[in-house]
Structure 1
C-alpha cells in the first residue's frame, strides 16, 4: 500500500489519506485484539528445543553447566508493538565571531547586503543523519585591531609582569636558604629564576590574534540538522527491563515517510494510535517557530519477547529471549563466575 501524499494542511490530513488509513488492512489475525493472536509475519514461536541453544549462545562469563542441564518448564511468548516517529529538522543561528586577520581580501558591506539566514543555499545531508556546519555569511566581514593586545600582537606576561624573571621559590629571593651559608643551587645565588610562563621574554604572543595584531569580524551561520525521536512500546506485564527493548531490532510492519506524516488511526492496538497522535503533537510543539521540518518517518515494529521458566537443582528461574537478534536477559542465572554481570 502506498501511503505517500503531499502535505495540504498543518492541522488535518487529506481526506483521501484518512480514507486509506481507515480501510487499511493491518496485517493481524483476529483483528489483533487478543494478546495471544500473532501477526501474519515471519515470526516463529519458540520451542523448548530452540530456547536452550539460544541461551547457550549468550552465556557470557557464566558457567555453561547450568545452561546445559536446566529443564525448561514453560515458555510465555508475547509480541510487543514499537512505534517510532523520527522528525528530521533544520535550524539556523547567526552570530558574530572573529578570527586572526592575515591580510587577505575582505568580503565586507561594500560588496553588497548580507543575505538573511534562510536565504543562504546549502547542501542538505542525507535524511535523518544529524550534522552541524558553520558558514561565513557573505558581505558581513570587517577588520579591527585586536581587543586583547590593542593591536600590538603581544602582551605583558602576567607571571613576571614583563621582567622575564621571578623570585626564586627555593630561597624566596634571599640567594641562600635559611641557616645555610652556601648559595642557593636552584637560582645559583641570584635570588631569581627565569619565568617559565614566557620563557624569560617578558611578553607572550597574543592568543586571540596569534600575533597578527588585527582581527577579522564576520557573521557566522550555524546550521544544525537534528533527528528528533519519539518512541513508544506497548506494555508486556513481565519482569523485564523496558530500556533493553530500545537496543534490539523488530520486524517492520508499517512505514510512512513524507515531509509531514499524520497520526495513525484505527490501529488494532489503540495505544499505538494514541502514541502516534502524542508523538506528532510533541514534535510539532517542540520545533514550531525554531526549526524547519524537512522529513518525517513513522514506523511500527513487532518485537518478540519470550519469558522462559526453567528448573535447575530444585529451584525455578526465569530468563528472557527478546528481539530479532534473540538476545538473552537473565538476572538470577545460577553459577556466576564473575562480578555479577547480566547476560544480554
Structure 2
C-alpha cells in the first residue's frame, strides 16, 4: 500500500541525524556530517491493536464503629445484587485505561457485636493487666515509679534524700495507659460495643490491549514499542461489541494481519463483562538509512510522520568515559 509522503533527500536525512546526535552530550557529529549515505530503504511497518473495554464488580464488607442512629437494613427493602446497581452516573469515557469507584449496596447494613471487646466497649489494659486471663482484670494496680525506682526518695550526692515528686514518696504510680482502671476504651468500636457493617460494590473499568507489529526484515531490529508510539496513518478503525477482522479488497497481507490481531484477543477475567471492542490498523512510514566510510558503516531509522530518529546501538563517534551525566558508560 502506497503512502503519500515527501521523499527525504540527503540534506534532510543529515539534518535529522545531526539533531539526534546533538542531544547526546558525548556523541560527535562528524560521521553524521561527512560519511557517505550508502543506501536509503523504505520499510513501512503496520501496527494493529485490539482494545477490549471491560467492567468488573466485586463485593467487599466494610465495618465501622456504630455510634447510634438509623441503619439501612433489610427491613427497608431487599438487598440489591452487585450487577443490579445503576452506576450510569459513574460510567467513564470508553477505553479509559483504568477507573475505579465504590458504591454502598442499598439495604445491606447490619449491626454486629464488636469482636474486639465482646460488646463491652472496653478492653483489658495490656500494661497493668498483661498477666491476667482473657476477659479478667484488676483495678487499682500500680506500677513502680521510674524516677525513684520504688524507693519514694531521690538520693543526692551529698548523701541526703528528698521525697520523689513524681510519686509523692509512695514509690508507685498509676498505670499511664488506663490510670489504673484496668480497662481501656476499645479502639475498634470506639467504646460503643457495636459495629456497623455494610456491603460495598467495588467497580473497575479497564482496557485490555492486544498489540501486534508487522515489520519487514529491514525494520525487524527496532523494538515494537517504538512503532506503537510513532505517528502513522490509520487504515481502519472499527468499534463493536466484538470486533471481527477488517477487510481490505486490495491487500491479502492486511486481511491476514487483521485476523492475527483479532485471534490474539486478551482474555477478560471470568467475573468481568465486555462492554465493547475497538480494532485499528495503522501504517507507520519507516526509512532505513545506511551510512559508510571506508570499511565501516552503521544504520539508523527515521520513523513516523514526526520523523523520529532511532539508532539502536552502534554509532562510530561516541566518547563516554563516565564523566558526563548520560550514563552510557554503564552499558559497556
- The structure 2 residue matched to 1:141, chosen from 105, 109, 113, is 109
Cα displacement string for residues 101-148 of structure 1 (whole angstroms, at most 9, x for unaligned residues): 342421001001111222111021111112111111100101113222
What CA RMSD, in Å, does the superposition of the two structures yield over aligned residues?
3.9
Specify the alignment match of 2:231 in structure 1.
Answer: 249
The Cα of 1:210 is off from its aligned counterpart by 5.0
Counterpart-to-counterpart distance in 2, 1:306 and 1:106: 68
1:335 aligns with 2:302: no
In 2 relative to 1, CA 247–67 (structure 1 residues): closer, same or farther, beyond 3 Å? farther
- Equivalent in the alignment of 1:117: 82
Q: Are 2:302 and 1:321 aligned?
A: yes
> Mapping of 1:147-226 within 5 angstroms?
147-153=115-121, 155-156=123-124, 206=186, 208-210=188-190, 213-226=193-206
Q: Closer, same or farther in 2 for the Cα pair 1:141/1:304, shift >3 Å?
A: same
Structure 1 unaligned residues grouped into runs of 5+:
1-27, 29-37, 176-180, 182-190
Provide the rounded CA distance (Å) in 2 between the counterparts of 1:79 and 1:46: 14
Task: State the distance in 1 between where 2:119 and 2:39 align.
Answer: 80
Indicate how the Cα distance of structure 1 residues 108 and 239 shifts in structure 2: closer, same or farther if over 3 A, else same: same
Tell me the residue number matched to 1:75: 40
TM-score by length of 1: 0.69
Structure 1 contact 234–271 (Cα < 8 Å) conserved: no
Question: Do the aligned residues in 2 keep the contact of 1:77 with 1:304 (CA within 8 Å)?
Answer: yes
SS in 1 for 2:61: strand
Provide Cα deviations, 1:4-41, integer angstroms capped at 9, x if missing partner: xxxxxxxxxxxxxxxxxxxxxxxx3xxxxxxxxx23xx
What secondary structure sits across from 1:50 in the alignment? Answer: helix
3-state secondary structure, aligned to 2:44? strand
Distance 1:128 1:83 in 2: 16
**CA distance in structure 1 between the partners assigned to 2:174 and 2:227 by the alignment:** 62
SS for the counterpart of 2:75 is: helix
Q: How far apart, in 1, do the equivalents of 2:42 and 2:128 lie?
A: 75
Gaps of 5+ in 2: 131-140, 152-156, 158-170, 321-325
Q: Is the 8 A contact 1:320 1:328 kept in 2?
A: yes
Are 1:268 and 2:256 counterparts? no
**Alpha-carbon deviation of 1:336?**
3.8
Structure number with greater Rg is 2
Q: Paired residue for 2:94, among 109, 119, 127?
A: 127
Deviation at 1:265, TM superposition (A): 3.8
Q: 1:52·1:67 contact (CA, 8 Å) conserved in 2?
A: no
Q: CA deviation at 1:328?
A: 2.0
SS of match in other structure, 1:273:
helix
Tell me the residue number matched to 1:232. 212
In the superposition, relative to structure 1, how do residues 208 and 48 fare at CA in structure 2: closer, same or farther (>3 Å)? farther
1:137 and 1:312 map into 2 onto residues whose CA distance is: 73
Question: Do the aligned residues in 2 keep the contact of 1:73 with 1:309 (CA within 8 Å)?
Answer: yes
Query: Does the 8 A contact of 1:264 with 1:277 survive in 2?
Result: no
Checking the alignment, whether the CA contact within 8 Å between 1:146 and 1:213 is kept in structure 2 is yes
> Does structure 2 retain, via aligned residues, the 8 Å contact 1:166–1:195?
no
Cα pair 2:39 2:289 within 8 Å, conserved: yes
Deviations 1:277-323 (A, max 9, x none): 313xx34xx23752222121111111122222123586312222223
Structure 1 residues 78 and 116, CA, compared in 2 at 3 Å: closer, same or farther? same
For structure 1, which segment, 303-312 or 262-271, has the greater mean C-alpha deviation from structure 2 after superposition? 262-271
Once residues 166 and 245 of structure 1 are traced to their aligned partners in structure 2, the CA distance between those partners, rounded to angstroms, is: 74
